[in-house]
């Protein structure tokens, strides 16, 4: 950059970075008329303050060029950033099939499988023998210290927890702007529904339906009361929102785990007549998302069988869940 009288400071975010402090000995009392006279060579002030008008004019031109070059560079960088973002979004297919460690009737696993289907992602299902405790064996614990399914392996990147997996898939392998919206408020609604399901709805479904089906837990009136409370809350959320799906007008990742919560209830013939909005949304999902529902329905068939005839897992030494149902019979 030249030694121009006007300096463009790249650390300043506007053309206000141009300063006139480089005019030597020019007092604050100098007017714009004085400056114009100075440039024409007709002012005494100009003769004394700027003895070389040619150099001064050249400096102004050089500084203007610097401003132009700075703005051009900023614009070029922005265009490159947009181009890289578009390129990333277009490159949405994994380089190799993902691995999903799963159990065929696991509600969280089925939610992830629906996400994979929606996003059209090639993947390999690795079945875990739940009945024989494969999820508790050392080999699997090395992959997932939680000892649970599902577990995703994306070319060496390993991730557990179904909600985290679904969010990751929808973010990395984005298909459209609706499944996991980028708008902050729309995404917040989706994330709220996911959190509500984990903390409230699915939690009470597990306590009332899944744990008594697979382990030695009683099915209690207290747990039924908690379940009904969570269903009343979801009913109110859907009524206030008044949309076709749980987080808006389009299906999102939030619908998938909540659908699986309802699948668990359908498997035990739970009566939803007190919750017409939930029943309507659930039926709408079945009708409008046929390919996704096909995955969920297979889980429904298996869970229905287990609800009618609970499996005997007394041979398992589970770290937290009791498996010997004879204790319940004695009570």
Residues classed as catalytic? 106
Q: What is the CA radius of gyration of the chain?
A: 33
d(CA 195, CA 167): 12
Residue 62 has phi, psi (to 5 degrees) of -65, -40
DSSP for 68-96, please give it: HHHHHHHHHHHHHHHHHHHHHHH--S-SS
d(CA 36, CA 49): 13
d(CA 9, CA 6): 10
Q: With beta carbons less than 8 A apart as the criterion, state whether 98 and 159 touch.
A: no
The SS3 call for residue 151 is strand
Widest distance between CA atoms in the chain: 113
């Amino acid at each position: 950059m030249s030694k121009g009288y006007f300096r463009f400071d790249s650390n300043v975010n506007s053309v206000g970075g141009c300063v006139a402090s480089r005019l030597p000995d020019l007092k604050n009392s100098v007017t714009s008329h004085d400056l114009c006279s100075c440039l024409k060579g007709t002012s005494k002030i100009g003769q004394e303050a700027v003895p070389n008008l040619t150099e001064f004019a050249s400096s102004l031109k050089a500084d203007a060029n610097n401003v132009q070059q700075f703005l051009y560079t900023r614009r070029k960088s922005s265009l490159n950033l947009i181009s890289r973002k578009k390129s990333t979004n277009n490159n949405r297919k994994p380089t190799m099939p993902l691995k999903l460690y799963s159990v065929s009737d696991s509600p969280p696993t089925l939610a992830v499988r629906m996400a994979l289907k929606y996003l059209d992602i090639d993947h390999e299902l690795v079945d875990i023998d739940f009945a024989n405790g494969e999820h508790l064996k050392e080999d699997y614990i090395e992959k997932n210290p939680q000892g649970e399914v599902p577990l995703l392996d994306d070319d060496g990147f390993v991730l557990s927890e179904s909600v985290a997996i679904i969010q990751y898939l929808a973010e990395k392998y984005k298909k459209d702007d609706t499944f996991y919206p980028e708008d902050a408020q729309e995404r917040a609604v989706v994330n709220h529904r996911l959190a509500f399901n984990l903390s409230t709805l699915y939690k009470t479904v597990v306590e009332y339906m899944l744990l008594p089906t697979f382990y030695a837990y009683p099915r209690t009136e207290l747990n039924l009361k908690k379940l009904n409370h969570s269903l009343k809350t979801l009913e109110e959320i859907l009524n206030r929102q008044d949309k076709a799906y749980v987080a808006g007008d389009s299906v999102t990742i939030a619908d998938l785990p909540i659908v699986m919560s309802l699948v668990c209830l359908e498997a035990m013939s739970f009566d939803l007549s007190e919750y017409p909005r939930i029943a309507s949304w659930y039926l709408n999902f079945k009708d409008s998302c046929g390919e996704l529902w096909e995955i969920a329905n297979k889980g429904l068939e298996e869970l229905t069988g287990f609800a009618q005839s609970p499996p005997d897992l007394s041979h398992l030494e589970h770290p937290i869940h009791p498996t010997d149902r004879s204790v319940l019979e004695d009570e």
